[in-house]
């Protein structure tokens, strides 16, 4: 029965876009493998999502090489491999570069870059044999533009965009499609899941800190933009389903109005003017420069 359906593997599926994708795909004739860290599996029950003949829920820490290999081997043995990989698991740290240590920096890249690349690498051999497959990497508008206090997050997404572009060239002759989904501001509670480093949290709390205004202004700005966004995770999930069914989807797909806007701005505005305009548009920028 499963062999007649496309097998879809989704990481970070217990919340946000990943959860919305699971709910969207349940409406269609697909075999879904939803994964999340063991500590997050309870969220599926809270959302009323249960295993069935077309949905399996598996624990997967995407940063664990052992768990990645075990999961892919099991999927290959039981369900004939993965037809569509949706690399959705991600994390965002809010910290200026000066406040980011090696441990936090590596954690950011381990989840946002190394994990999706290594999962794709495990699946590519089987996809090549079938001469078909899709690898859909959930990137971000931050993968085409950077913002203060989110440098390492942007760096991880820039890296994911770069290697996905390379994979697009490498895998296209085999009939395997690589796509980057680029959401911008989404009306969700994701902003409350942002992590702080020890230094960035201390700066956020302490008004006398040189970077205090950076954190307070950017945090309130991001929250405001998310609340004003007309796009919810469910709308992004619908667009991802459409991408899954496109015969020849494009490499990059901005899926929110602001992501579309920034994509066009980068193309038509001279880079020096582009950066100046964004700098002058930063929330409370005059306060950032206030001498303390």
**240 contact partners, CB below 8 Å, separation of at least 6:** 17, 21, 24, 86, 136, 181, 255
- pLDDT at residue 3 is higher than 50: no
- Give residue 245's Cα distance to chain centre: 20
> What digits encode the pLDDT tens for the residues 39-83?
999 999 999 999 999 999 999 999 999 999 999 999 999 999 999
CB 78 within 8 A of CB 9: no
Find, among 34, 96, 38, the residue nearest to 63 by Cα: 38
CB 161 within 8 A of CB 205: no
Q: Which domains does the chain carry? A: 2-196+231-268 (3.40.50.720)
Enumerate the β-bridge partners of residue 182. Answer: 254
Amino acid 191: pLDDT:
72
**Mean pLDDT over the full length of the chain:** 94
> What digits encode the pLDDT tens for the residues 27-48?
998 999 999 999 999 999 999 9
Amino acid 2: pLDDT:
45
Instruction: State the pTM of this model.
Output: 0.95
> From the CB of residue 78, how many other CB atoms can be counted at a distance below 10 Å?
12
Amino acid 291: pLDDT:
46
Question: How far is 289 from 282, CA to CA, in rounded Å?
Answer: 12
> From the CB of residue 168, how many other CB atoms can be counted at a distance below 10 Å?
18
> From the CB of residue 238, how many other CB atoms can be counted at a distance below 10 Å?
14
Token pair belonging to 119: 């999962």
Give the end-to-end CA distance of the chain in Å, rounded to a whole number: 67
DSSP-derived secondary structure for the chain: -GGGSEEEEESSTTSHHHHHHHHHHTTSSEEEEEEE-GGGTHHHHHTT---BTTEEEEE--TT-HHHHHHHHHHHHHHHS--SEEEE-----EEB-GGG--HHHHHHHHIIIIIHHHHHHHHHHHHHHHHT-EEEEEE--GGGTS--TTBHHHHHHHHHHHHHHHHHHHHHGGGTEEEEEEE----SSSGGGG-EE-HHHHHHHH-TTSTTHHHHHHHHHHHHHHHHH-S--HHHHHHHHHHHHH-SS--SEEE-SHHHHHHHHHHHHS-HHHHHHHHHHTSTTHHHHT---
- The half-sphere exposure of 160 on its side-chain side, counting CA atoms within 13 A, is 39
Token pair belonging to 10: 């989704």
Question: How far is 130 from 179, CA to CA, in rounded Å?
Answer: 19
- pLDDT at residue 1 is higher than 60: no
CB 62 within 8 A of CB 119: yes
> What digits encode the pLDDT tens for the residues 199-220?
999 999 999 999 999 999 999 9
Find, among 121, 225, 229, the residue nearest to 178 by Cα: 121
Report the catalytic residues.
Answer: 14, 139, 153, 157
């Amino acid at each position: 029965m499963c062999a007649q359906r496309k097998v879809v593997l989704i990481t970070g599926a217990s919340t946000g876009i990943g959860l919305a994708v699971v709910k969207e795909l349940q409406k269609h004739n697909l075999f879904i493998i939803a994964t999340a860290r063991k500590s997050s599996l309870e969220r599926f029950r809270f959302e009323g999502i249960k295993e069935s003949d077309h949905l399996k829920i598996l624990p997967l820490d995407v940063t664990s090489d052992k768990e990645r290999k075990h999961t892919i081997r099991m999927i290959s043995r039981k369900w004939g491999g993965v037809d569509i990989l949706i690399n959705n698991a991600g994390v965002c740290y809010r910290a200026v570069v000066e406040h980011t240590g090696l441990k936090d920096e590596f954690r950011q890249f381990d989840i946002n870059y190394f994990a999706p690349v290594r999962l794709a690498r495990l699946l590519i051999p089987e996809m090549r044999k079938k001469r078909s497959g899709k690898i859909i990497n959930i990137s971000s508008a931050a993968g085409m533009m950077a913002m203060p206090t989110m440098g390492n997050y942007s760096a991880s997404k820039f890296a994911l965009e770069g290697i996905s572009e390379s994979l697009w060239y490498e895998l296209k002759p085999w009939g395997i499609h690589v796509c980057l989904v680029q959401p911008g501001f989404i009306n969700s509670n994701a902003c409350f899941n942002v992590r702080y480093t020890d230094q960035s949290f201390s700066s956020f709390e302490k008004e006398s800190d040189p970077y205090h205004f950076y954190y307070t202004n950017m945090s309130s700005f991001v929250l405001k933009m998310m609340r004003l966004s007309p796009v919810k995770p469910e709308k992004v999930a619908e667009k991802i389903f459409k991408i899954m069914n496109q015969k020849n989807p494009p490499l990059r797909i901005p899926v929110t109005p602001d992501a579309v806007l920034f994509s066009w701005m980068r193309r038509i505005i001279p880079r020096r003017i582009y950066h100046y305009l964004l700098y002058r548009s930063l929330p409370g920028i005059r306060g950032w420069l206030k001498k303390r």
